[in-house]
Amino acid sequence: MNHLLIAPVVLPAIVAPFIIMVLRHHLSLQRIFSLASTVALLAISLVLAVQATDGTVQVYELGNWPAPFGIVLVLDRLSALMLLLTSGLALTVVLYSIGSGWDARGRHFHALLQFQLMGILGAFLTGDAFNLFVFFEVLLIASYGLMIHGGGTKRLQAGVQYVVYNLLGSTLFLFALGTIYSVTGTLNMADLAVRVAELSPDDTALLRVGAIMLLLVFAIKAAVLPLHFWLPASYANAPLPVAALFAIMTKVGAYGILRMYTLVFGPEVAATEGLVGDWLLPAAMITLAVGAIGVLGSREIGRLVAFGAIASMGTLLIAVALFTPESTAAALYYTVHSTLAAALLFLVADLVMERRGGDIIAQRPMAQTGLIASLFFVGAIAMAGMPPLSGFVGKLLVMDAARGHDLVWWIWTVILVGSLVTIIGLARAGSEIFWKSHDASHIDDPEPELAGNDERAELEQGVAPTPALPFIACFALLAGLVLLTIFAGPMMDYTEATAAQLFDPNLYIDAVLKRVEP
């Protein structure tokens, strides 16, 4: 067994308690350890990604218990891609929070961040449905702490809503798992796939209920309409660097859908045939539409980016819902793109918030307005999906993958009109914030109020920020987007291979259950 496979879970699980128990009064040491752990995670993910490129499915049996009796961790191309994306994103978020002093505005930021990483990476690696639930809870409980980091009335109120909504989601997850277990008698994903395929189609009413409840759980995580209500308020009121990290959390939901509904409830399974795509596709289109309208209607920059993230989840889930190898490859490409783009815009929004407050109205110009405006411009281009950045390539791939589908004209219309509305919304926000502020009539206005006293108090609490580090983090994300555009060809080769692997679940099942080739 390759013990490197469990390192992405074990490393943050050791570093986080160490930070809490030993380094709780040493902020600079916390920063060093958190940064070192994140860099190490990135290195581990790189090694694992290289190992996964040859198409083998690696299995790690915890405690050496063979599947399906023990819990397994499974590394295939999809897991490796998501690991790499998560640890890369985490590194920029850690750099940004150190540079902007956000980590000093409350306690235990770095420990919570490491626990969050443990949960996310574990969720991507696990091969057991109940273990997936446990890792979801790990990442959620850490995210509750991060979400209210720094305190403040509005943030706490939004935090209550976020926690309640996600607790409901967790309960639904348990109901779904219980239902599936009562029908199949197993929770190992590979074993589930075997058992579900063996069920006779007349005897699957309960299983279908379980499958739909599970879909609802992942839809809550992925913020699919009409289950998206938690997202705008939580992301806009969370510390924005944390919101940038949360950009990967919606992708955990999309990952869950991709994993469970290709492996267990796959397209060929008679019991649940056509059950998911038919429901998910319209929901995803409405999600995109509402996200775009939300971008247009936002009066506050955090909400603007949050709705942009919802819109990009809509595009992503349209591609997922088609459930063909081509569309899945496009969805994976778009996943990487939309995570980086949303994170970049959240970080830029934080730069704006720190300097002038988040309201989208003309105020006096802020410091470094040219640099921030350019970053916002580039991030907006990426998020709206305009050339030359990878959003354009991604949307083109999604639309191309939809070509053979019955609803192709609907899909194209929604994606194109959605992009147009998003562009208008982002352009309006950008010109209000960055251009109209230079209008002479505003210069004489009194000092603008920051959004509330909470924020001002936060600013004063923070230690002197390192001015360059936040920009380095933003440019790192931007570099990721540019690389994703330049190397779109090799990247597509990888995602197509990933999709091929997903749509041939026997590879996965054979590896986990150690079935010998007949």
Partner 1 sequence: MEILFASAVGILTAAGIYLILRKRTFPVILGLSLLTYGVNLFLFATGRLMVNAPPVLNKYAEVPYTDPLPQALVLTAIVISFGMTAVVVMIALGAYLSAKDDHIDMVEDTKRAGDDA
The footprint of partner 1 (CB under 8 A) covers 130, 134, 137, 141, 144, 148, 151-154, 156-161, 163-164, 167-168, 170-171, 174-175, 177-179, 181-182, 185, 187, 233
CA distances from 490 to 211, 235, 483 (A): 35, 33, 11
Q: Left, alpha or beta for 150 (phi > 0: left; psi -120 to 50: alpha)?
A: left
Q: How many helices (H) and strands (E) does the chain have?
A: 21, 2
CB of 367 vs partner 1, minimal distance in Å: 30
Report the residue number, 182 or 374, with the smaller CB distance to partner 1: 182
- Cβ atoms of 330 and 305 closer than 8 Å: no
Identify whether 68 is preceded by a cis peptide bond (ω within 30 of 0). Answer: yes
Report the residue number, 357 or 418, with the smaller CB distance to partner 1: 357
Report the residue number, 94 or 120, with the smaller CB distance to partner 1: 120
Report the residue number, 49 or 236, with the smaller CB distance to partner 1: 236
Report the residue number, 154 or 405, with the smaller CB distance to partner 1: 154
Report the residue number, 302 or 325, with the smaller CB distance to partner 1: 302
Q: Assign 107 to helix, strand or coil.
A: coil
- Residue 378's identity, in one-letter code, is V
- Measured distance CA(67)–CA(332) in Å, rounded: 28
CB of 151 vs partner 1, minimal distance in Å: 7
DSSP of 178-219:
HHHHHHHS--BHHHHHHHHHHS-GGG-HHHHHHHHHHHHHHH
- Measured distance CA(106)–CA(146) in Å, rounded: 9
**The tokens of 441 are what?**
């009539």
CB of 166 vs partner 1, minimal distance in Å: 9
DSSP of 337-373:
HHHHHHHHHHHHHHHHHHHH-SB-S--S--TTHHHHH
Report the residue number, 233 or 329, with the smaller CB distance to partner 1: 233
Report the residue number, 164 or 416, with the smaller CB distance to partner 1: 164
CB of 156 vs partner 1, minimal distance in Å: 4
End-to-end distance of the chain based on CA atoms, in angstroms? 24
CB of 133 vs partner 1, minimal distance in Å: 8
- Cβ atoms of 320 and 328 closer than 8 Å: yes
CB of 300 vs partner 1, minimal distance in Å: 13
- 486: phi then psi, degrees, rounded to nearest 5: -65, -45
CB of 247 vs partner 1, minimal distance in Å: 22
Report the residue number, 181 or 377, with the smaller CB distance to partner 1: 181
CB of 180 vs partner 1, minimal distance in Å: 9
CB of 231 vs partner 1, minimal distance in Å: 14
- Measured distance CA(459)–CA(101) in Å, rounded: 9
Report the residue number, 325 or 357, with the smaller CB distance to partner 1: 357
Identify whether 388 is preceded by a cis peptide bond (ω within 30 of 0). Answer: yes
CB of 139 vs partner 1, minimal distance in Å: 12
In sequence order, the β-bridge partners of residue 61 are: 72
- Cβ atoms of 192 and 256 closer than 8 Å: no
- 285: phi then psi, degrees, rounded to nearest 5: -65, -40
Report the residue number, 361 or 457, with the smaller CB distance to partner 1: 457
In sequence order, the β-bridge partners of residue 172 are: none
The total of other beta-carbon atoms located within 10 Å of residue 161's CB is 14
CB of 325 vs partner 1, minimal distance in Å: 34
**The tokens of 134 are what?**
């446990």
